[in-house]
Amino acid sequence: MNARTIETRRGCKVRVFEAGQGVPLVFLHGAGGLFAENPFLEKLAQRYRVFAPELPGYGESTGEEQLEDMLDFTLHGFDVIDALGIEKPHLVGHSMGGMIAAEMACVAPHDVSKLVLVAPAGIWIPENPIPDLFSFLPHEFAQMLFHDRALGEQLLTGGLDLRNMEALVEFYIGNARRLGMAGKILFPIPNRRLSKRLYRLRAQTLLVWGAQDRLIPPLYATRWREHLPQAQLEEIEAAGHMVPYEQPEAFVAAISRFIG
């Protein structure tokens, strides 16, 4: 995919990966950010014009100090769309990105085409609290996020050996920067009262969930559908929270069926 850096009107510098032709589709990544390889984006780019911006604080995007709360994050999403010069894209948001995408669709319901929420954050069920990802030790992420733990370790560290002190420091700094940013809308509880705004959401919506998601378990899909009765649900087998990375083909197939 090609990468370029755009500047939003607010003044954030955002690196955007892009590829493909056709109707615009914007992918919003989760709290961990994009990985070095994102095969599902390339597959999506065979059908759509795909844009994958990195949130400030992630990768090479900067200006994180300008985004402090949910409204900032939400408007930043539209600022990026404006800076890309596209209109009314399909939005696909994963985890934290799903939370942001849903907020965008509530705040400006006429500015979003179809909406795909992949194991989205943003709702909290007191009887089924989501594990506190902000207190995970480095070696715990893989087992919490992936159905296939070994694959998870490989993807999360990008091949770094965390027993090596330098690699650990590198991981630590990246993690502090990314999750420090994510914490502004996810800490200490990933609930910024989105559910009271969901009545505004008009976009046709698909929920995609990994059947073995241990971070935000599939029962959360049920709660989402109570708020969005028209939403479809696709549960994907042999996938944890990182469903786009674990089952890219099934993931892209589900989106293609939904968007067309």
Partner 1 sequence: MKFTWFNLMPWPHLPDDFRERHRSVWVDIPSRLFDPQEGHFVYNRYMDQLEYADEVGFDGIGVNEHHQNGYGIMPSPNLIAAGLARRTSRAAIAVIGNSLALYNPPIRVAEEFAMLDCISGGRLIAGFPVGTSMDTNYCYGQIPALTRDKYAEAHELVMRAWAEQEPFAFDGKYNQLRHVNCWPKPVQKPHPPIYIPGGGSIETWDFCLDHDYNYSYLSFTGYLRGKLLLDGYWDRVAKRGKDESPYRAAFAQTICVADTDEEAERLYSEHVSYFYNRCLHIYGGFADAPGYRTIKTIKHGAMSNMMEDMQQVFPTLTWKNLVDEGYIIAGSPATVRERMEHLIKGLRVGHVFCLLHVGNMPDDKTRHSTRLFAEQVMPHLRNMWPEWKDDDRWWCKPMENRLHPEENLQSARAHGKAPR
**Contacts to partner 1 from residues 215-254, by CB under 8 A:** none
Which listed residue (85, 110, 163, 165) binds partner 1 by CB under 8 A?
165
Q: Does 15 bind partner 1 (CB under 8 A)?
A: no
DSSP label of 116: E
Among 3, 176, 219, 238, binds partner 1 (CB under 8 A): 176
**Of the ranges 173-181, 194-202, 203-211, 225-233, which one interacts with partner 1 (CB under 8 A)?**
173-181
Number of other residues whose CB lies within 10 A of the CB of residue 194 = 23
Taking CB under 8 A as the rule, does residue 181 contact partner 1? yes
Using rule CB under 8 A, residue 1 touches partner 1: no
Cβ atoms of 3 and 68 within 8 Å: the answer is: no
Range in contact with partner 1 (rule: CB under 8 A) among 71-79, 177-185, 195-203, 225-233: 177-185
Under the binding rule (CB under 8 A), the answer on residue 136 touching partner 1 is yes
What torsion, rounded to 10 degrees, do the Cα atoms 219, 74, 133, 177 define?
A: 160
For the chain, what percentages of helix, strand and coil (3-state, to nearest 5) are there?
Answer: 45, 15, 40
- The amino acid sitting at 67 is L
Residue 68 binds to partner 1 (criterion: CB under 8 A): yes
Instruction: Find the part of the chain contacting partner 1 (CB under 8 A) among 91-99, 120-128, 129-137, 201-209.
Output: 129-137
Residue of the chain from 140, 226, 237, 249 that contacts partner 1 (CB under 8 A): 140
Q: Which long-range contacts (CB under 8 A, 24 or more apart) does 3-10 make?
A: 5/60, 5/61, 6/53, 6/80, 6/83, 6/84, 7/83, 8/63, 8/76, 8/79, 8/80, 8/82, 8/83, 9/79, 9/82, 9/83, 10/63, 10/66, 10/75, 10/76, 10/79
* SS3 per residue for 73-98: HHHHHHHHHHHHCCCCCEEEEECHHH
Q: Which is nearer to partner 1, 144 or 253 (CB)?
A: 144
Whole-angstrom Cα distance, residue 222 to residue 233? Answer: 9
- Binding segment for partner 1 among 48-56, 176-184, 201-209, 241-249 (CB under 8 A)? 176-184
Q: Nearer Cβ to partner 1, position 125 or 168?
A: 168
Return the residue of 113, 175, 191, 195 that touches partner 1, per CB under 8 A. 175
Extract the tokens encoding 239: 């996938």
Q: Is 179 in the site for partner 1 (CB under 8 A)?
A: yes
Is residue 177 within the footprint of partner 1 (CB under 8 A)?
Answer: yes
- Shortest approach of partner 1 to residue 89 CB, angstroms? 28
Which residues make up the interface to partner 1 (CB under 8 A)?
64, 68, 134-137, 140, 165, 168-169, 172-173, 175-184, 187-189
